[in-house]
Amino acid sequence: MFKRYRRLRKNYAIRSMVRETVLNEEDFVYPLFIVEGNNIKKEIKSLPGNFHWSVDRLDELVEDIVRAGVKGVIIFGIPNYKDDVGSGAYDDEGIVQKAVREIKRIAPDIWVITDVCMCEYTSHGHCGIVIDNSVDNDETLKYIAKIALSHAQSGADMVAPSDMMDGRVGAIRSILDENGYKDVSIMAYSAKYASAFYGPFREAADCCPEFGDRKSYQMDPANSREAMLEIQEDIDEGADIVMIKPALPYLDIIKMTRDKFDNPIAAYSVSGEFAMIKAAAALGVIDEKAIVLESLTSIKRAGADIIITYHAIDVARWIRRD
């Protein structure tokens, strides 16, 4: 006699009772792009429905986020001025620093994460200090630590290094602790792949490398065991949360991480994942809402606790139950 699994799929009531994975609005973190200037809310062409915001317009966005029930944001800055060492990234009056202070003023309970990287701030567009045409790991660490400290000083709850230098989590933990920011946590982009799925973001954040690519620091998409080594190292150096990025093409990595580690896991569903869905929806060949919900459920089912997504506000509105 075969078993009848269809009995538990008979109607919505029973399906919802036996459902293993349920999305909540608290699962999502929304990425923000902050630009200099005043009164700017400009749609990002490559990320429809997402905008470049100037700090003075943030109250409008923060209100939407709070109302949707999204609890966290991750901030990216797009400065006007760039130089070889990305000095704008650790300027107390930099746009990320100003944005953090402003968001905390408007809504102190929003969990504010800052992306700690240099690529938006360097004239060459690389995520570190370039010496002899290559990104120097140990020289970069000094800057990454300084940037993280500056974000903590402006009030960030959590810093998220995305540069993929070796040793950066430890360097950040030390500088934060030495300066009295023991409670500021670290979400490490631990398994960050050298992915073509970042294309729309690089346009949005103006951070395309001027020469070469990021393959000497971001991971090879062909590798999974190496991701476990990266994650182990970040946890050993003091990461509170580990991140896998991108998400949907890397569900196996999320699942491996879930099976092996007990730390909370974040998955970054990146710009290319978002843009593909939007493009297909615009062509009328998919049902956007259904595809987004299925994709995000899959990411959570694989093992992610937190999902960073450009759909965050929309999804939170769709699923909010209260």
Total residues contacting ligand PBG by CB under 6 A comes to: 11
Give me the 10-49 binding string for ligand PBG, x by CB under 6 A, dash otherwise.
Answer: ----------------------------------------
* Whole-angstrom distance, CA of residue 298 vs CA of residue 255: 11
Options 270, 302, 307, 315; binder of ligand PBG; rule CB under 6 A: 270
Return d(Cα 236, Cα 252) in angstroms, integer. Answer: 22
> β-pairing, 51-54 with 41-43?
antiparallel
The residue from 97, 140, 271, 295 that contacts ligand PBG (CB under 6 A) is 271
244 near ligand PBG, rule: CB under 6 A? no
Does position 295 bind ligand PBG by CB under 6 A? no
- Left (φ > 0), alpha (ψ -120 to 50) or beta: where does 303 sit? left
Enumerate the known binding-site residues for Zn(2+): 117, 119, 127
Q: Which residues are annotated as a binding site for 5-aminolevulinate?
A: 202, 214, 271, 310
Structural contact between residues 176 and 182, judged by C-beta atoms closer than 8 angstroms:
yes
Q: Stretches 8-16, 198-206, 252-260, 281-289: which one binds ligand PBG (CB under 6 A)?
A: 198-206
**250 touches ligand PBG by CB under 6 A:** no
In this structure, are residues 234 and 190 in contact, taking their beta carbons and an 8 Å threshold? yes
The residue from 34, 73, 112, 119 that contacts ligand PBG (CB under 6 A) is 119
Computed over its alpha carbons, how large is the radius of gyration of the chain? 20
Q: Which amino acid is at 228?
A: M
To ligand PBG, the closest distance from the beta carbon of 69 in angstroms equals: 22
Q: Could you write out the three-class secondary structure of 67-120?
A: HHCCCEEEEEEECCCCECCCHHHHCCCCHHHHHHHHHHHHCCCCEEEEEECCCC
Q: Which of 98, 192, 278, 300 is catalytic?
A: 192
Which of 110, 127, 156, 299 is the binder for ligand PBG (CB under 6 A)? 127
Site string for ligand PBG, 154-173 (x = CB under 6 A): --------x-----------
241-245 vs 265-268, strand pairing mode: parallel
- Is 245 among the catalytic positions? yes
Nearest approach in angstroms of CB 18 to ligand PBG is 34
Pick from 198, 219, 253, 306 the residue near ligand PBG by CB under 6 A. Answer: 198
Q: Does position 202 bind ligand PBG by CB under 6 A?
A: yes
Residue nearest to ligand PBG (CB): 201
- To the query of whether residue 146 is one of the catalytic residues in this protein, the response is no
Residue 206 CB burial class (10 angstroms; 0-12, 13-18, ≥19): middle
Phi first, then psi, for residue 245 (nearest 5°) are -155, 130
φ, ψ dihedrals at 113, nearest 5°: -110, 140
Residue 298 tokens, joined = 């899959």
Shortest separation between residue 176's beta carbon and ligand PBG, angstroms:
20
Residues 62-91 that bind ligand PBG (CB under 6 A): none
Give the count of alpha carbons within 13 A of 107, CB side only. Answer: 21
Nearer to ligand PBG, 67 or 299 (CB): 299
At residue 269's C-alpha, the angle toward residues 231 and 293, to 5°, is 125
CB 242, min distance to ligand PBG, A: 15
Given the residues 71, 98, 245, 278, the one annotated as active site: 245
With respect to ligand PBG, which residue has the nearer C-beta, 106 or 276? 276
Strand, helix or coil for residue 159: strand
What is the set of active-site residues? 192, 245
Give residues in contact with ligand PBG (CB under 6 A).
115, 117, 119, 127, 162, 198, 201-202, 214, 270-271
